[in-house]
Amino acid sequence: MDGMTMEESASLRDYSTFRLGGACRVLVSCDRPSALQDAIRRLVADHEPHVLIGGGSNLLISDDGYDGVVVRYCSEAPRIDVDGSVLQVDACTELDELARFAAEHGLEGLNCCTGIPGTVGGAIVGNAGAWGKQIGDSLRHVTLMDDRGELREAAPESLGFAYRRSNLQQSGDLVVTAQWDVSVPQRPLCGWHPGFPTKSASFPL
């Protein structure tokens, strides 16, 4: 299927920022929503134990690895689209790519994501941010996938955002896409956050 690859006995350290961890039985890499939905539905139908990861920047993986299927939802190419007043981003997009897009298009509200590794999905689950702002502050809504592979839309108010937390950490729902409202007046150019050079020097991506 387009957007999906599979690797048996994959070393998970290759998919974790800290380069730690053993192998999983199978790694399924998905770089678009349709591939993710297809993968999850097949795994559920086959009663296969599975877990989802994004960019692997907030994971400490055991040396014992994982005796099941790891689904990796991460895209090297940014999957970002502006349709009228809506900025739509597939959650497999790297967060820094979204911050770059926002900076180049003068869209406020996302420059707190500058220089943070990982995917948009991982950032929403952990309400990532910096400099007193987080990604959940400006979100319009998200598309979630439940444990049967069914999609639904959710408003940010329903996600229980707090400092580096959301109720997605308990619910197990997957973040498939995210949308921002760009109809509100934007500053002509908000650019990179002024703290970026310091952050970039401390933690190169």
Ligand X SMILES: Cc1cc2nc3c(=O)[nH]c(=O)nc-3n(C[C@H](O)[C@H](O)[C@H](O)COP(=O)(O)OP(=O)(O)OC[C@H]3O[C@@H](n4cnc5c(N)ncnc54)[C@H](O)[C@@H]3O)c2cc1C
Burial class for 133, CB neighbours closer than 10 Å (0-12, 13-18, 19+): middle
Least distance to ligand X from the beta carbon of 139, Å?
A: 14
Span near ligand X by CB under 6 A; candidates 24-32, 62-70, 102-110, 168-176: 168-176
> What residues pair up with 143 in beta bridges, in sequence order?
153, 177
By the rule CB under 6 A, 128 interacts with ligand X: yes
The H or E element spanning position 103 is: helix 95-104
Least distance to ligand X from the beta carbon of 176, Å?
A: 7
Burial class for 87, CB neighbours closer than 10 Å (0-12, 13-18, 19+): buried
Least distance to ligand X from the beta carbon of 136, Å?
A: 11
The tokens describing 5, both together, are: 């690859």
By the rule CB under 6 A, 203 interacts with ligand X: yes
Its sign, for the CA torsion 179, 92, 36, 136, is negative
Which pairs with CB-CB distance under 8 Å and at least 24 residues apart come from 49-52? 52/174
Site for ligand X in 16-75 (CB under 6 A): 17, 52-59, 73
The tokens describing 66, both together, are: 């994982």
By the rule CB under 6 A, 178 interacts with ligand X: no
Span near ligand X by CB under 6 A; candidates 40-48, 96-104, 113-121, 148-156: 113-121
By the rule CB under 6 A, 121 interacts with ligand X: yes
Which residues sit at the interface with ligand X, rule CB under 6 A?
17, 52-59, 73, 91, 116-119, 121-123, 125-126, 128-130, 164, 168, 174-175, 203
